[in-house]
Amino acid sequence: MVFERARGRPTKILVLNPNSSKAMTDGIKPIIDAVDLPHSTEVYTYTAPADAPASINDGKDIAQSTKAVLADLEHSDFWDRGYDGVLVACFSVHPLVPTLQAGRGGQGQQARPAVTGIFEASVLTALSLLRPEETWGIVTTGKFWEEHLDAGVLDFLGSGSGSSGGGGGRDSNNTKFAGVESTGLNASDFHHGVDPEVVRKKLKEATQRLIRRGGLVTCIVMGCAGMAGLEEIIRSAVSELRGDEFAYAQLHVIDGVRAGIVQVDNMIRNQRLRPGKP
């Protein structure tokens, strides 16, 4: 008697944390576990080595994390593990996304995994949820990210130079983007080192500033992987301004890791539709 597999192909996704905080990687694991994926999809995590920053807070940290991760991957069996997709779990315009998209030199298109970042996936998810009259925005960590993410959104959408100086897209022609508000915290502050009440207060204030910007903000993106699990604070803050019905039945709060895993899974499936060489 012979048994043969008739259908099904296992899928391997790597969630890559480009900072050296294992605590942050552990913090996003419950989000990974909660994503509704096929049983054949395996999700792995990676934490950057010790020479990467523990928290990515500015452009220098982005550059340092890129250098550390690329060196670590090059001296590992990363390219031989057969990952179908990679999610870069840093809410930034991170160089690791295009670098990993390019694949390993000399191995051709088939060696390239599907790659995106939680920033890119969140932007696409937010846009897919909006009705014509609605807008979306980002609540993030430090002041640096206001200009960085504002520019990143505009460049990603091809709707402007992104040089609005942190003005939340107000100098661009992108009428869907309400802008970016920061909490003044670092990514590592959300789960340790800072009084939870301080975190709640600052996240609440940033959320309410975004809601008050004008227009109908119906989608808020949590602009930091470290915000995983803090959705309730955002909804509570919005409830104070617009009531429970809006905050809990109409408002979308996007977790970048969740959006990213779904996006990578979809990218993998679409890549598999290509016929390849005859």
| pLDDT digits (tens), the chain, 278 positions | 777 666 667 899 999 999 999 999 998 999 999 999 988 899 999 999 999 999 999 999 999 999 999 999 999 999 899 999 999 999 999 999 999 999 875 454 456 899 999 999 999 999 999 999 999 999 999 999 999 999 999 999 987 654 444 444 444 557 899 999 999 988 778 767 788 899 999 999 999 999 998 789 999 999 998 888 899 999 999 999 999 999 999 999 999 999 999 999 999 999 888 876 65
Helix (H), strand (E) at residue 157? helix 144-157
Looking up tokens 């993998």 gives 268
Buried residues in 133-160 as b, exposed as e (16+ CB within 10 A): ebbbbbbbbbebbbbbbbbbbbeebebb
DSSP annotation of 178 reads: E
**Residues 6 or more apart from 11 whose CB is under 8 A from it?**
38, 40, 41, 42, 84, 85, 265, 268
What CATH number should be reported for the domain holding residue 25?
3.40.50.12500
220 and 138 fall within a common domain: yes
Asked if 156 and 219 sit in the same domain, the reply is yes
Residues 102 and 145 in one domain: no
How many domains, in total, are found in the chain?
2
Contact 256, 118 (CB under 8 A): yes
pLDDT of residue 162: 45
Q: How many residues does the chain have?
A: 278
The confidence score (pLDDT) of residue 194 equals: 82
Q: Which domain holds residue 177?
A: 120-256
pLDDT of residue 163: 42
CATH number, domain containing residue 215: 3.40.50.1860
pLDDT given at position 161: 52
Q: How far apart, in whole angstroms, are the C-alpha atoms of residue 133 and residue 129?
A: 12
